[in-house]
Amino acid sequence: MSDLAEPDYLDRPGRPRLAYRHVRGAGPTIVFLPGYMSDMAGGKATALFDWAASEGRACLLLDYAGCGLSDGLFAEQTLPDWRGDVLDLIDAVVEGPVVIVGSSMGGWLMLLTALALARRDGAVRVAGLVGIAAAPDFTDWGFSPEEKAIILAEGALREDTPYGDQPYVTTRGFFQSGEANRLLETEIPLTCPVRLLHGQDDGDVPPGISLRLATALASEDVQVTLVKGGDHRLSRDTDIALLIATVARLTEEAH
């Protein structure tokens, strides 16, 4: 990120303090939601923030509780907790409509946040959604029966990951919260434009998940882009250029 200043923080009585970065500008505000055990320092988040700042567009980055620079213990968080973090920050710093960009698990939170905003503020609050290897319902399809049994019996599953030094930890609390918030088996009542980007070589989230999501969404304006040679991270220069171009078109159409 070109701006390496310390992030801002949102203090919340009785709940973890949240780290965020926000640049004001033309709306709708772009809100980036990172993936599981990820944070706002990732390449896609920083590239999007720098582009928004250079183009005079409003953008919000954030770290969920227990992640990155935010307070809290990762193992104590659930999917609704992180959705609450996103809503709290939107309420605190964002005026007007939002375009929510969600990466991997952030794509699940993108949908849950959009549903909450639509119920509370009306459909016009969510101007658009952009999923990057969106992973709704991954507690259902992302674990083998044996792994699910370990999570429920032992309280957590620890897995090595190529994306960092620390193992992925899935707690029983998070797993159960995910199972209680599955979306793909019924219609998802969101009517805003949706763009779904997915690498054809994604070894973590099958590209078919984006196709299932496109089918489940009520919106009639849904486009799925499969990226040849793209992996789960979609962080090559060409992938990031595609992301920025996709977000730029969506925000321009909604402005």
Largest CA distance in the chain: 50
pLDDT in tens, 111-126: 999 999 999 998 889 9
Q: Give per-residue pLDDT as tens, 29-46.
A: 999 999 999 999 999 999
Active site residue 8: no
Closest CA to 63 of 130, 112, 18: 18
Closest CA to 38 of 71, 69, 2, 3: 69
Residue 93 lies in a domain: yes
Structural domain count of the chain: 1
Q: Is it the case that residue 5 has pLDDT exceeding 70?
A: no
One of 38, 70, 103, 104 is an active-site residue; which one? Answer: 104
Average pLDDT, integer, range 122-139: 95
Annotated catalytic residue within 202, 204, 210, 239:
202
* Per-residue model confidence (pLDDT) at position 27: 83
Partners of 26 in the β-ladder: 57
Structure tokens at 19: 């780290």
Please determine, for residue 165, whether its predicted confidence score (pLDDT) is greater than 90. no
* Whether pLDDT at 163 is above 70: no
Q: Across the strands, what pairs with 103?
A: 132
Domain carrying residue 77: 8-141+184-254
Chain-wide mean pLDDT for the chain?
95
**Spatial separation of the C-alpha atoms in residues 102 and 51, rounded to whole Å:** 17
Domain-located, residue 34: yes
Q: Active-site residue 202, yes or no? A: yes
- 210 as an active site residue: the answer is no
* Burial (Cβ within 10 Å: 0-12, 13-18, ≥19) of residue 228: exposed
> How large is the average pLDDT for residues 188-213?
97
Residue 209: inside a domain, yes or no?
yes
61: nearest Cα among 2, 116, 115: 2
For residue 206, pLDDT beyond 70? yes
134 in a domain, yes or no? yes
Q: What is the CATH number of the domain that holds 198?
A: 3.40.50.1820
Is residue 157 included in any domain, yes or no?
no
Catalytic, out of 70, 204, 232, 239 = 232
pLDDT at 253: 85
